[in-house]
A = this chain, B = another copy of it.
Amino acid sequence: MIDKSSPLPIYYQIEEQIKEQIMSGILEPGDMLRSEREYAEYYQVSRMTVRQAINNLVSLGLIYKKKGSGTFVQEKKIEQALHGLTSFTEDMRSRGLTPSSRLIDFSIIPATQVVAKELMIEEHTPVYEIKRIRLGDDIPIAFETNIIPANLVLGLTEEIVANSIYNYVENKLKLHIGSATQVIESATATKAEAELLDIPKQSPILLIERKTFLANGTPLELVKSSYRGDRYKFMININRKS
């Protein structure tokens, strides 16, 4: 059932097995899982190891515990996907659309005072400024401007930018993205936005300003996006307390 000599941690293997049972429907919403002691006996591991697996699934929102009663499969199956911080690329894919980009501008400029303060760098430090129209199934969805300190992402090219920056940062540069703060507001399209997004002037648009941080708290980028109101709704799943 589990491989104790595997490089994968035991708790992770147990976690995946229980997750698989929930996904496949062997365990249905509302069902009680076996007790921690039963799993420990079954897998021939200590109860603390089972607890680590189960606690991870609780924080993923797949199961929940009731003191003195047991552990149960969560009811909701819907919208399980839209947890956490996602890139435009991931966002489009989860909606079943094919993401692409049209590069408008790609340059290195000195940071303005405002940008420097936000990114916690010195004024005039070089930053990448990337302006892109972002498309889903070849239809314009958003106009996006990214500002990233140049020294954090050395070797950024137009080709990378045409795809996913997050993918490059995480998989090639091996930087660990931690969190982001987002501010979302409603506005009407300016003339420039209307032309770039191919919509009538004064149409509703969703303005999203994001500041992304690496896991160690270093600001990675500022993003300003203007999403077409008729083509895009922002969806998010949040938990009480955190």
Interface residues of A (CB under 8 A from B): 29-30, 48, 59-61, 64, 66, 72, 74-76, 78-79, 82-85, 120, 176-188, 202, 204-206, 213, 215-218, 227, 229, 232-242
Contacts and interface: CB of A to CB of B under 8 A. Distances in A.
A226 B9 CA distance: 47
14 contacts: A60-B242, A72-B216, A75-B120, A79-B181, A85-B240, A176-B240, A181-B235, A181-B236, A182-B235, A184-B235, A185-B204, A185-B206, A186-B187, A204-B204
Contact of A59 (B59, B76, B83, B177): B59
B181 A204 contact: no
Contacts of A217: 29-30, 64, 74-76
Contacts of A185: 204, 206, 229, 232-234
Contacts of A188: 188, 204
A179 to B, nearest CB: 5
Contacts of A64: 178, 215-217
Contacts of A75: 120, 213, 216-218
B179 A213 contact: no
B183 A233 contact: yes
A186 to B, nearest CB: 4
Contact of A186 (B74, B181, B204): B204
A114 to B, nearest CB: 15
A75 B229 CA distance: 35
Contacts of A232: 185
A187 B242 contact: no
A180 B233 contact: no
